[in-house]
Amino acid sequence: MNDFPILNKAVELFVIVPGVFICLMPVTKWINVPSRRFYPYLTVFVFVFCFGFGYLSVRNNCSTNTFFIPAMLICIFLYFRKVNLDRLKLLFMFLCTIAALSFGGLAGDITDAKLNPAQNVQGYSYGLAVQYLISLLISLAFYLIRYKLIWLFENFHSKPLWHIMCIVPALIAFCNLSMLPEDYANVSVGRIFLLYLIIETCLFLFFILFLVMFYQIAKTASEKYLAEKTALMYEMQMSQYQSLKVYMEQTGRMRHDFRHIIAAMSDLLYNEQYEQLKEYADNYFSASFDHFTPHNFCRNASINALLSYYANIAADYEINLQFQVQLPDNSDLSDIDLSILLGNLLDNAIYACKSLPQSERYIHLTADTDTPGSLYIAMANSFDGNLKEENGRFFSTKDDGMAIGLSSVRAIAEKHHGIAEFYADGKEFISNVMIGLG
C-alpha cells in the first residue's frame, strides 16, 4: 500500500477545516484552553484525524463517508469539552456547521456524477474542488455574521426555542446527506441533475432565511424582555422616589412639630410624671417611625431601588434579610444586566422562603469587588429542601420547566467572562456568581 491513496483520502477529509473554522469562530471567548496551547493542539488533531481516517478508509477499501458518524461523535465530544458555553447553543452551532458543509459535499458528488457517470473517480477531482470552493464561501459567510452569532449566544436564553431551532439544521443536513447519489449514472438521467440543482438552491435559500428569521425572532424577544426589565426598574425607582418624597414630607413635619413635642415632654419630666412621659414617648415614636424608612444599600441608584423593592417584599413576608453590597463605580457591567441578575436571584429566594415557617425565613446577600477586576456575588437563602436537579441543571418548582431565572443568571455571568454556581446544603440554597469587570 503506497502513501498516495491515503493522501487522497486525507485531502477529502481536510474539508473539515472550514467546518472547524465555522464551529470555533463565534465561540472563541468561551474556549477553556489558552490560545497558545489550543491552536497547536488543534492543528495536530486535524492532521491526525484526516490521515487516521484516511488510512482506515484505504485499508478497509471504503468511502470516507463510512466514518462520518463516528468522526462527528468524536468532534462534538471534544467541542463540548473545550468550550464553556451552554451545550444546547453548541449543539445548534455544530448542526449548522454540518448543514452548511453538507451543501458542499452534495455539490461535489453531483459534479463528479455529471462529469464522470461511470463512478470511477479516484483522489483529486473537479467535484472535490467544487466542494472546497463552496465550503470556503460558506465559511466566509459565517465569518461575516460572526458577531450576530456571538450576540445570540450572549443574549438569547430561551431553552424551548433553542431546542426547536436545533431541529432545522439537523433536517437540512439529513436531506442533503440522504440525496448523495449511490449510482452516479442516475444523475444524468432525464432532468435529475436539474432537479438536484433546484432542490439544493431552495434548501440553501431556506437555510439562509432560517438563520435570518432566528436572529430577528431572538432580537425581538430580547428587546421585549429588556424593555420589560427596564420598565420594572423604572417602576422600582419611581416607587423608591415616592417613598422618599413621603419620608421627606414626614421628617419636615417632624422638624416643625419637634419644639412642641420637646415642650410637652419637658413639662411631664418637670412634674415627675414618668409613666405619662413613657406613654407619650412610645406613642410619639410609634406614630412617627412606623412608616417607610429609606434604604441605602449601595451608591448605585438603580440597584439600590431594586434592592429596596425586594427588601419591602421580604418585609411583607417577614423574611430576615441581610444585604452587604459593594458595587464598582465604573465597569462594562450594565445596570440592566446587574438588575436582571440580582432580581432573578432575589425573586427565586423570596419564592423559596415564603412557604417556610416565619422563624426559618432568611436571605443573606453579599456583593464585593475585593478581587481586582471581578465582582463576586454570594447569596444564601432558606428553602424547604426539595430540589429538581439533573446533571447540574435546576428545574423550576413553580412549574415543570427549566429554572429560567437561574439560567438567565448563568448566561449573564458567562456573557461577562464569569461563572455561576448553584447548590444546596441541607435546607439552604447557595448561589455563587463571579463576573469579570474588564
Choose the final residue of a domain: 142, 169, 189: 189
Residue 254 above 60 pLDDT? no
Q: What is the DSSP string of 269-292?
A: HHTT-HHHHHHHHHHHHHHHHSS-
Q: What is the pLDDT of residues 342-355, one digit of tens each?
A: 888 998 899 889 88
Query: Quick one: which of 188, 192, 139, 169 has its CA closest to 24?
Result: 139
* Any domain includes 258: no
Q: Are residues 32 and 172 in the same domain?
A: yes
For position 401, what pLDDT does the model report?
Answer: 38
Question: Do the beta carbons of residue 184 and residue 112 sit within 8 Å?
Answer: yes
Choose the final residue of a domain: 145, 173, 189: 189
Task: Give residue 286's pLDDT band: very low, low, confident or very high (50, 70, 90).
Answer: low
Q: Are residues 158 and 12 in the same domain?
A: yes
Give the contacts of 41 (CB within 8 A, at least 6 positions apart): 33
According to DSSP, residue 179 is labeled T
For position 400, what pLDDT does the model report?
Answer: 41
Handedness of CA 142, 144, 145, 151 (dihedral sign): positive
Beta bridge partners of 255: none
Dist CA 413 CA 399 (whole Å): 25
**Given the DSSP bridges, would you call strands 320-325 and 362-368 parallel, antiparallel or unpaired?**
parallel
Question: Do the beta carbons of residue 361 and residue 347 sit within 8 Å?
Answer: no
Report the mean per-residue pLDDT for the chain: 81
Mean pLDDT of the region 224-233:
71
Query: Quick one: which of 201, 213, 156, 152 has its CA closest to 176?
Result: 201
Q: Are residues 26 and 175 in the same domain?
A: yes
Q: What are phi and psi of 322, to 5 degrees?
A: -135, 120
Q: What are phi and psi of 300, to 5 degrees?
A: -75, 115
Q: Are residues 153 and 11 in the same domain?
A: yes
Instruction: Name the residue range of residue 325's domain.
Output: 298-436
Query: Quick one: which of 100, 179, 172 has its CA closest to 135?
Result: 100
What length is written for the chain?
438
Q: Are residues 53 and 176 in the same domain?
A: yes
CA distances from 277 to 256, 268, 281, 287 (A): 21, 6, 6, 15
Q: What are phi and psi of 395, to 5 degrees?
A: -110, 150
* Any domain includes 206: no
Choose the final residue of a domain: 168, 189, 210: 189
* Any domain includes 275: no
* Any domain includes 343: yes
Copy the grid coordinates of residue 275.
409613666
Copy the grid coordinates of residue 195.
432537479
* Any domain includes 289: no
CATH number, domain at 307? 3.30.565.10
Taking the model in full, what pTM does it have? 0.66
Mean pLDDT of the region 183-203:
84
Q: Are residues 171 and 310 in the same domain?
A: no
* Any domain includes 215: no
For position 30, what pLDDT does the model report?
Answer: 86
For position 364, what pLDDT does the model report?
Answer: 94
For position 431, what pLDDT does the model report?
Answer: 92
Mean pLDDT of the region 402-411:
69
Copy the grid coordinates of residue 372.
481586582
C-alpha gyration radius of the chain? 32
Q: What is the DSSP string of 104-156?
A: HHHHHHHHHHHH-TT----SS-HHHHHHHHHHHHHHHHHHHTHHHHHHHHHH-
Q: How many domains does the chain have?
A: 2
Q: The cell 432525464 sits on which residue?
A: 190
* Any domain includes 371: yes
Query: Quick one: which of 237, 131, 124 has its CA closest to 180?
Result: 131
* Any domain includes 24: yes
Which region among 245-259, 321-335, 346-360 has the lowest average model confidence (pLDDT)? 245-259
Residue 99 above 70 pLDDT? yes
